[in-house]
Structure 1
Amino acid sequence: MPKTPVVFIHGLWLHATAWSNWLEMFESAGYDPSAPGYPGDGASVQDTREHPERLAGLGINDLTTAYGNAIADLSAKPIVIGHSLGGLIAQKLLAQGTAAAAIAIDPGQIKGVLRIPLVQLRSGSPALRRPGNRHRAISLTAEQFRFGFGNALPAAESQDLFDRWTIPGPGRPAFEVATSNLRRASASPAAVDTRLDDRGPLLFIAGGADHIVPPAVVKAAAKLYSAGHATTDYHLFPRRGHSMVLDHGWRDVADYSLDWLARQGF
């Protein structure tokens, strides 16, 4: 029997290889997992750091198209699991009918979510503070990573994750998310059709201590889907931050994801 494909989609400022533990775990569970990088991502963290210009200017639609093209080469519709911006892209792929199911972990804010906590604005400031960053690839400092990703971790672990996995990220998606509610749905790359009844199941996972995508934002996104009748679930991991897919507690999140997929028949 063919294995079900699973495609992992990383968010801004993390390299695709940060999914390595998840890839091993899902393969052991009988899936066929892969973690394609963004167009312009190098094969390694170091190579990507040395060529940030290759990521400059990429937007949400560019990334969604790239992952859609990668999925088209698979033997079957995959499960898509996205973190941060990757969680927004996962929702778009599910709505397009490209994916069979989706898990959005600390997902980037979709159009229609009006609440923007102050801590979220501060976390997005490395990209948003200069209009010209829309056309650049932006790198975080260790201090910025600590506030946005590693605030729920010991300082030493936050520094270790920063050293191992961080890469430049295109600034354009941050601006597209920040201005989504000022644009028509047809003109906003962050817009997702949340009213579909014929899409696959969707799980939202939030971290109670997340600064980049606070739990209130994730819950508000999940609530937007209540107008449709397809399965939409929400789960909160208290006291977990935006680093939850790669820090010492990643297995708890992965275990919950696998259990949920099993309950959906995957």
Structure 2
Amino acid sequence: MSPELEIFRRSPTGKPKCKTPIIFVHGAFTGAWCWNEHFLAWFADQGFETISFSLRGHGGSGGRQLRSLASIDDYVEDLETVVETLGQKPILIGHSMGGYIIQKYLEKHSAAAAVLMASVPPEGLMASNAMMAMAQPDLYLQMFWLQAIGPHTLLRERLGRAMLSADIAEDEGMIYFGRLETESHRALMDMAGTNPVFLSPTDVPPMLVMGARNDEIIQSELVHRTAQRYGADYLLLDDIAHAMMLDAKWEKAAQGIVQWLEANVVEKSQRSAKKSAA
């Protein structure tokens, strides 16, 4: 049974563009707050019902004392709990670990559409960690220390540059960095290969896989490989770092998602509604 979850909702401002709600799934070390800074209200302003929530042990959700024992399957259960409140299939948007959770969710469930942002690939973190260890050993070490001691100021400069672009305001970036939390050891082990994704491309809903060209955490090669595996649409952004929903050019990512949703979800649902009316 899921602990009580922190859930945020925003209704569309003005005329709704789409009847299908969006659920945002955050990544490791964060909480619903990462979506609430920009995306939740911005997508509502574009005419979407938006929902963000904190996984168990994160943000304001319950289960903090047992966070280190939470598995990816537990996080999928949290997502199931939120979906059940809607009474319909949602659009799922997940970042990093959140993208992995969505892939695991889709093994047994369907969705109106899915967007994977800088997502952990279906095979897990083995390849990305190996690439990081070889190309950026200092960053690899700091990711280890983030999990071991949390967002210590000594980690801010190097790890901060991997999370956010250099042009984001220093004080703003420090605030974001200071809100990071340690992640569940079990969930990280699951993504290291103990709980891989078994999702067939034939079971994938309309999907957009997007990444950052110079992402040092989830490298663009792996993003492209994920898109190929699922036969999904692929979008690679320039001048933005891994935490693209918080970066200085977050709106560039948001606009890319909305443009894709308009073409692949909104227009299709409108055509279907017209056929039903006729």
Q: TM-score range by the shorter chain?
A: 0.7 to 0.9
Deviation at 1:189, TM superposition (A): 2.1
2:34 to 10, 18, 42: 18
Q: For residue 100 of structure 1, what is the amino acid of its counterpart?
A: A
Q: For residue 171 of structure 1, what is the amino acid of its counterpart?
A: H
Q: Summarize deviations over 1:216-240 as a string: whole Å, max 9, x none.
A: 11111222224xxxxx111101232
Quote the Cα distance in structure 2 between the aligned partners of 1:253 and 1:14: 19
Q: Summarize deviations over 1:68-123 as a string: whole Å, max 9, x none.
A: 12212212100010001001112222343332111000001322887436553455
Corresponding residue for residue 32 of structure 1: 49
Corresponding residue for residue 161 of structure 1: 176
2:185 to 152, 171, 190: 171
Q: For residue 256 of structure 2, what is the amino acid of its counterpart?
A: Y
Q: For residue 151 of structure 2, what is the amino acid of its counterpart?
A: L
Deviation at 1:166, TM superposition (A): 1.7
Corresponding residue for residue 196 of structure 2: 190
Q: 1:222 to 1:139 in 2, by over 3 A?
A: same
Q: Summarize deviations over 1:158-187 as a string: whole Å, max 9, x none.
A: 323213x32232122222222x2xxxxxxx
Q: 1:245 to 1:105 in 2, by over 3 A?
A: same
Q: For residue 238 of structure 1, what is the amino acid of its counterpart?
A: D
Counterpart of 1:77 in 2: which secondary structure? Answer: coil
Q: Summarize deviations over 1:191-243 as a string: whole Å, max 9, x none.
A: 131332x43111111111211111111111222224xxxxx111101232112
Q: Confirm or deny that 1:204 pairs with 2:209.
A: yes
Bigger drift between 116-125 and 52-61 goes to: 116-125
Query: TM-score, length-normalised on structure 1?
Result: 0.78
Counterpart of 1:87 in 2: which secondary structure? Answer: helix
Structure 1 residues 6-85: aligned runs within 5 Å: 6-20=22-36, 21-43=38-60, 53-85=65-97
Q: For residue 249 of structure 1, what is the amino acid of its counterpart?
A: K
Quote the Cα distance in structure 2 between the aligned partners of 1:39 and 1:62: 8
What is the CA RMSD across the aligned residues, in angstroms? 2.9
Corresponding residue for residue 270 of structure 2: none
Is the 8 Å Cα contact of residues 125 and 191 (structure 2) preserved in structure 1? no
Quote the Cα distance in structure 2 between the aligned partners of 1:63 and 1:78: 17
- How many pairs align? 241
Quote the Cα distance in structure 2 between the aligned partners of 1:96 and 1:110: 15
Instruction: List gaps (5 residues or longer) in structure 2.
Output: 1-15, 267-278
Larger radius of gyration, structure 1 or 2? 2
Corresponding residue for residue 258 of structure 1: 258
Quote the Cα distance in structure 1 between the aligned partners of 2:58 and 2:187: 16
Q: Which has the higher contact order (CA 8 A, sep 6+)?
A: 1
Quote the Cα distance in structure 2 between the aligned partners of 1:52 and 1:40: 4
Corresponding residue for residue 110 of structure 1: 122
Q: 1:261 to 1:62 in 2, by over 3 A?
A: same
Q: 1:113 to 1:154 in 2, by over 3 A?
A: closer
Query: TM-score, length-normalised on structure 2?
Result: 0.75
- Taking only the aligned residue pairs, the percentage that are identical comes to 26
Q: 1:124 to 1:34 in 2, by over 3 A?
A: farther
Counterpart of 2:244 in 1: which secondary structure? Answer: coil
Structure 1 residues 93-108: aligned runs within 5 Å: 93-108=105-120
Deviation at 1:154, TM superposition (A): 5.1
Is the 8 Å Cα contact of residues 68 and 98 (structure 1) preserved in structure 2? no
Instruction: List gaps (5 residues or longer) in structure 1.
Output: 181-187, 227-231
